[in-house]
Amino acid sequence: MRRTTKLFAAVGIVGILLFSCAPKSEKIIGVAKFVSHPALDAIEKGIVDELSASKPDYTIDLQNANADMNTAAQIAQRFKQQKVALAVGIATPTAQALANQIKDRPVIYSAVTDPVSAGLVASMDKGGANITGTSDMTPVREQLDLLRSLKPDIKRVGNIYASGEANSVALAAIVKSYCQENGLEYVESTITNSSEAKQALLSIAGRIDGLYLGNDNTVFSALSGLAEVALEKKIPIVTADPSSAETIPVLAALGYDYYRMGVATGKIVVRVLNGEKTVDIPAFLPKDSEDMTFVLNLDTAKSISVSVDQSIIDRAKVIISDGQLTRK
């Protein structure tokens, strides 16, 4: 469930039971992510790097729920029993678990697509009584525009998402609306865990011309299997996760630089530890062009017989061609 950063580690759930032996004076920041995949790992690293530089006197307890809600709840209980100075939840399910359990100390969420719909805050304009954080409300329409520019003759858009993730449900509604507005057929397949993802794509592969994958941690943790099927069926995939796209052969990804989002989350943690109230800190949504990354895989394009216009290639910040990754 967990691993160590820099200063502190306990061993899995056993650590929950043994923590009563730890020094009461130790200043601990609890950081929990829902599952390990490149985007969330990059956020975690950004948080750790910022806190290690700005708050070196704090111990950081890293936890991983492994895409299991029961484990996420156990981690939240662990942090509560530890009386951590502050808890950070990376991704919606872990942030919700922390917010449900911890009421008497700050909770900072990171990469929560829609913190309002997730019930974490009442408004994006200010934080809650003990909670605030960063949002990665992804530019769905721009991503779908990209899919259409890469596959101009697309008529049917597929979408796979986890029905239990609040952010994924919210994004699916946007995708469906976009398709209706643009005369495209919307074809969805929902999953409850990552082991179902590959079969979900196989079930709709014959009915779609392209696949869109929004911010969904359950889906992204199974992205390798989805890319394998897409290559075999010659289905172009556009995702919201550039981090994964650098190592997994999807056609393209347009989304946030998640390491930078982690650093931004860490800066909010520092502000709160320095005395700012969470209610006075609105949700942070990256807006600078430097916060966005566009990854284009020309090797995948060739494999699935997609011809990429030079104007699209010119826009990409990261290009994969002939097995080599190039950053502009």
pLDDT in tens, 52-109: 999 999 999 999 999 999 999 999 999 999 999 999 999 999 999 999 999 999 999 9
Closest CA to 299 of 249, 265, 260: 249
The pLDDT assigned to 165 comes to: 83
Closest CA to 30 of 107, 99, 131, 121: 107
Q: Which residues does 165 contact at the CB level (< 8 Å), separation at least 6?
A: 92, 93, 216, 217, 218
The dihedral through the CA atoms of 183, 184, 185, 190 has a sign that is: negative
Q: What distance in Å separates the CA atoms of residue 160 and residue 156, rounded to the nearest whole number? A: 13
pLDDT in tens, 164-197: 888 899 899 999 999 999 999 999 999 999 999 9
Closest CA to 132 of 280, 295, 327, 301: 280
Q: What distance in Å separates the CA atoms of residue 165 and residue 263, rounded to the nearest whole number? A: 24
**What pTM does this model have?**
0.80
- Note whether 247 and 310 are same-domain residues: yes
The pLDDT assigned to 26 comes to: 66
Please name the helix (run of DSSP H) or strand (run of DSSP E) that holds residue 232, with its range, or none: helix 223-233
Range of the domain at 314: 140-256+290-327
Cβ(295)–Cβ(252) below 8 Å: yes
**How many domains are there within the chain?**
2
Q: Report the CATH number at residue 309.
A: 3.40.50.2300
- Note whether 55 and 202 are same-domain residues: no
What does the pLDDT profile of the chain (328 residues) look like in tens digits?
Answer: 545 444 443 334 434 433 334 444 469 999 999 999 989 999 999 999 999 999 999 999 999 999 999 999 999 999 999 999 999 999 999 999 999 999 999 999 999 989 998 999 999 999 999 999 999 988 999 999 999 999 999 999 999 999 988 889 989 999 999 999 999 999 999 999 999 999 999 999 999 999 999 999 899 999 999 999 999 999 999 999 999 999 999 999 999 999 999 999 999 999 999 999 999 999 999 888 788 999 999 999 999 999 999 999 999 999 999 999 999 8
- Note whether 54 and 180 are same-domain residues: no
Q: What distance in Å separates the CA atoms of residue 181 and residue 44, rounded to the nearest whole number? A: 37
- Note whether 95 and 227 are same-domain residues: no
Q: What residue type is assigned to position 88 of the chain? A: V
- Note whether 181 and 45 are same-domain residues: no
Please name the helix (run of DSSP H) or strand (run of DSSP E) that holds residue 267, with its range, or none: helix 258-273
- Note whether 9 and 94 are same-domain residues: yes
- Note whether 130 and 269 are same-domain residues: yes
The pLDDT assigned to 167 comes to: 82
- Note whether 243 and 262 are same-domain residues: no
Token pair, residue 187, equals 């074809």
- Note whether 68 and 193 are same-domain residues: no
- Note whether 197 and 63 are same-domain residues: no
- Note whether 226 and 315 are same-domain residues: yes
Cβ(157)–Cβ(175) below 8 Å: yes
- Note whether 23 and 90 are same-domain residues: yes
